[in-house]
Amino acid sequence: MEVVIVPDATAGGELIAGALATLLRRKPDALLGVATGSTPLPIYEALAAKVRAGAVDASRARICQLDEYVGLPAGHPESYRSVVLREVVEPLGLGEDSFMGPDGSAEDVQAACEAYDRALSEAGGVDLQLLGIGTDGHIGFNEPCSSLASRTRIKTLTRQTREDNARFFDSLDEVPHHVITQGIGTILEARHLVLLATGEGKADAVAHAVEGPVAALVPASALQLHPHATVVVDEAAAAKLKLADYFRATYAAKPDWQGI
């Protein structure tokens, strides 16, 4: 696992967007796994700016979802399909045919989960998966004590997660109780995992995930098992890392050709 400490969220977004651009130059039809929420927005904004400036061609890129609410219609403005189309697909100049995600409004939710796992595999696998981290250490919607071998499935959200997401709805009552999420085992199959965390509220979760033991209690700690995982954190989110100085030194000495 590589840990990169950046000054702020904007710098983190620019760094990761640069890695995405490098990937697309090498593999124009790369399958990019995206996360939702406010944390990754600087990534999407920076990548879209590179596309507009002609610095990278994203016209053949493919986009896939990490998770989806259960019970919201696909056209609901806060369904993750709508969010990804609005914040990623459209700004990159892509069409809906470049996008894939689980069907949260399916009558048979379990079948939809299994179908999405198959679809990711049949698409050749995810080349780079973007991740955020919850204050309790969750990734995707794999809440604490999720199996580290789990596949795409339905999960019940904790009250804390629903409260964290209530800002996107008119009230807490409107936040769904269930989601479809890629499982930790599914996530770990991506070729490169990139987690971005910003703000002091994520400092404990980052420290447990990066420096603590691998444990289902902290789902993000599973990134320690991945051969190519990058954790990008701003100074506030890095505040409780015991090895922060070491992480700064190793990144400063890293050859440019290695990228992230």
Q: Would you name the residues annotated as active-site residues?
A: 67, 136, 138, 143
Closest CA to 33 of 135, 101, 115: 101
Instruction: Say how far residue 156 (Cα) sits from the centre of its chain.
Output: 19
Reading the block at residue 247, the tokens are 């992480």
Helix axes 41-52, 9-26, angle to 10 degrees: 50
Phi, psi for residue 154 in degrees, rounded to 5: -90, 140
Distance CA 157, CA 124 (A): 30
For 13: left if phi > 0, alpha if psi spans -120 to 50, otherwise beta; the answer is alpha
Contact 179, 71 (CB under 8 A): no
Answer positive or negative: Cα dihedral of 91, 122, 186, 238. negative
Amino acid identity at 38? S
Three-state SS for 72? coil
Closest by CA to 60, choosing from 95, 13, 20, is: 95
Euclidean distance between CA atoms 3 and 21, whole angstroms: 20
> CA 86 → CA 148, 159, 195, 201, 207, distances in Å?
31, 27, 21, 27, 32
Partners of residue 117 on adjacent β-strands:
none
